[in-house]
Amino acid sequence: MLSFFNPLRIRGGVHPEAHKTATANLPIVTDFPLPKKLYIPLQQHVGKPAEPLIRVGDKVLKGQLLAYSQGMISAPVHAPSSGTILDVNDYPAPHPSALPIRMIVLETDGQDTWMLAPTVNDPFQLTPEDISLRVGAAGIVGLGGATFPTAVKLNMGREAHIDLLIINGSECEPYLSCDDRQMQERAEHIIDGVRIMLHSMTTTNAVVAIEDNKPLAFLAMQKAAQSFAAITVMQIPTRYPMGWDRQLIKYLTGKEVPVGSRSSEIGVTIHNVSTALAVHKAIRYGQPLVSRVVTVSGGAILRPLNIEVPLGTLIAELFTFCEVKTDAVARIIMGGPMMGDALPHVNLPTVKATSGVLALTQSELKNTEEHPCIRCASCISVCPAGLRPLDMANNIRMNQLDAAVDIGLKDCISCGCCSYICPSNIPLVQYFKYAAGEVAARQQAQHKSEQTKRLIDARAARFKRIADQQAAEEQVRLAAKAARSHQLTTDSDTSTILGSRLAQQSEVDAH
């Protein structure tokens, strides 16, 4: 089923300079000084935000549940250290806009005392469903950056009877080396996590895919996986965006995931190596997801490192620890330089999605002086999704979004290859991100205008009903009045008058 030897399987892609050596050869720092305050967002995952169940002033232990998961697709949030809850309020989010989102502020007590979830001796005695439940309760989400709740994905894999679990160790973004280091240092734990995931999805086949620029990680993982026939560790070519799930699936299995469907529909599920490690910790030791390894790197960082960081640590503290040359910083990026988010400042917390924080100097940034398109078609040849970036950008520039959607805007994965390669420095991927947001906004506007029409119609119908009713009452009143005046003038018999009055009354009542 696996046919590995066809390089033509890779569509598009670029070879950006890796910049990984600064951090990839140093061990992960595990004694990062515990911050005084941690800022823990209630939404660090795809889906509904978690709902806090603690109050300001509460004392909590490390690993204690702070906010529970709401609804089908959501994830709980746990205390990254022991201490006191200071506040539950809006603080700037680690997002390009730095708009406020709800966070729990925890003042640490320096003890770092654990409160662990119950564990079992042999996780393979647990039912697959039980493993998913425990993974969900540990707040584990996809740590490659997608932050989709892992338990949901395990359940989907089990229900779809997948026949291959791919563990993504490609780490194709430049600068980042957190997965590389973890595979080198914690290979056995990762492989154990993979075995638990296989058990939870009731499947027997896993492939760990590692880019061939990480030979040490490959060797370590191969050694750890030796005694497990179910797990194959293999090298894949180094090329960005090799870690894109569809690219990886196509390369490893030769199958293309149909547009608009999930990979589990063709029998494959992808998880990240860090996620497998988190599963291992949760099931073996009862530790929920409260920390992660973050690459701190970039030209403006004097001491680039991989650090095991409690979630909620401010980026500013990471930069102080790694000694940043403040005046050399031209841009701060969370994630990798190709797909990460540029942040406006550093007083923002690290979250489950933070694989790296980079402080780049001006010389590391791409020249932004834009020239007209020379129609070299480089962008077309590097696009892994097989799109025509130049045409889409042209349409978007003229605000013809529907035309851009027609030629595939929705299939763009914002990988940035086209922007990277464009000799005219056209900000192609920025056009696509803008357009994607705009298309969503238009759909909402469309929805609202339909709703408006409904409201206007309902109002018109109501007015008509009221008018009709009034007209009917008026008619009855007129009829009654006419009748009464006739009787008053012609009829002197009081009993008749009384009788007719009664009749009128009942007539009115009837109406």
Shortest reach from residue 57's CB to other proteins, in Å: 28
Q: Does 424 bind ligand SF4 (CB under 6 A)?
A: yes
Q: Which of 377, 456, 466, 482 binds ligand SF4 (CB under 6 A)?
A: 377
Number of DSSP helices (H) and strands (E) in the chain, helices first: 15, 16
Shortest reach from residue 402's CB to ligand SF4, in Å: 17
Q: Which candidate, 155, 134, 231, places its Cα nearest to that of 191?
A: 231
Q: Which is nearer to ligand SF4, 63 or 337 (CB)?
A: 337
Q: Which of 429, 435, 436, 480 binds ligand SF4 (CB under 6 A)?
A: 429
Q: Does 378 bind ligand SF4 (CB under 6 A)?
A: yes
Query: How far, in Å, are 194, 219, 270 from residue 187 at the CA level?
Result: 11, 9, 18
DSSP string for residues in 9-24: G--S-B------HHHH
Q: Which is nearer to other proteins, 202 or 347 (CB)?
A: 347
Shortest reach from residue 229's CB to ligand SF4, in Å: 37
Q: Provide CB contacts within 8 A for 164, sequence distance 6+.
A: 1, 203, 205, 206, 207, 252, 253, 267, 268, 269
Q: Which is nearer to ligand SF4, 77 or 405 (CB)?
A: 405
Shortest reach from residue 254's CB to other proteins, in Å: 28
Q: Does 374 bind ligand SF4 (CB under 6 A)?
A: yes
Shortest reach from residue 20's CB to other proteins, in Å: 13
Shortest reach from residue 211's CB to ligand SF4, in Å: 18
Shortest reach from residue 239's CB to ligand SF4, in Å: 13
Token pair of 189 as six digits: 């734990």
Q: Which stretch binds ligand SF4 (CB under 6 A): 132-140, 152-160, 322-330, 421-429?
A: 421-429
Q: Does 383 bind ligand SF4 (CB under 6 A)?
A: yes
Element (H, E) at 86: strand 83-92
Q: Which stretch binds ligand SF4 (CB under 6 A): 35-43, 125-133, 145-153, 413-421?
A: 413-421
Task: Considering only residues 137 through 166, tell me which ones interact with ligand SF4, judged by CB under 6 A.
Answer: none
Query: How many Cα atoms sit within 13 Å of 434 on the Cβ side?
Result: 14
Burial 156-174 (b: 16+ CB within 10 A, else e): bbbebebebbbbbbbbbbb
Q: Which stretch binds ligand SF4 (CB under 6 A): 137-145, 211-219, 224-232, 368-376?
A: 368-376
Token pair of 247 as six digits: 């690219």
Q: Which is nearer to ligand SF4, 374 or 498 (CB)?
A: 374
Q: Which is nearer to ligand SF4, 290 or 396 (CB)?
A: 396
Alpha helix locations (H) across 300-377?
A: 315-321
205 and 163 Cβ atoms separated by less than 8 Å? yes
CA 224 to the chain's CA centroid = 31
Shortest reach from residue 24's CB to other proteins, in Å: 18
Query: How far, in Å, are 69, 110, 131 from residue 321 at the CA level?
Result: 33, 18, 37
Phi-psi region of 486 (alpha: psi -120 to 50; beta: other; left: phi over 0): alpha
Q: Provide CB contacts within 8 A for 360, sequence distance 6+.
A: 298, 299, 300, 329, 330, 331, 332, 333, 337
For β-strands 100-108 and 83-92, DSSP reports them as antiparallel
CA distance 190 to 210: 13
Question: Among other proteins, ligand SF4, none, what does residue 390 contact (CB within 5–8 Å per kind)?
Answer: ligand SF4
Q: Does 379 bind ligand SF4 (CB under 6 A)?
A: yes
Q: Which of 42, 428, 435, 480 binds ligand SF4 (CB under 6 A)?
A: 428
Q: Which is nearer to other proteins, 259 or 458 (CB)?
A: 458
Q: Which is nearer to other proteins, 84 or 381 (CB)?
A: 381
Q: Which is nearer to ligand SF4, 56 or 377 (CB)?
A: 377
Q: Which candidate, 103, 108, 51, places its Cα nearest to that of 80?
A: 108
Shortest reach from residue 100's CB to other proteins, in Å: 8
Site of interaction with ligand SF4 (CB under 6 A): 373-379, 382-385, 387, 389-390, 412-418, 421-424, 426, 428-429, 432
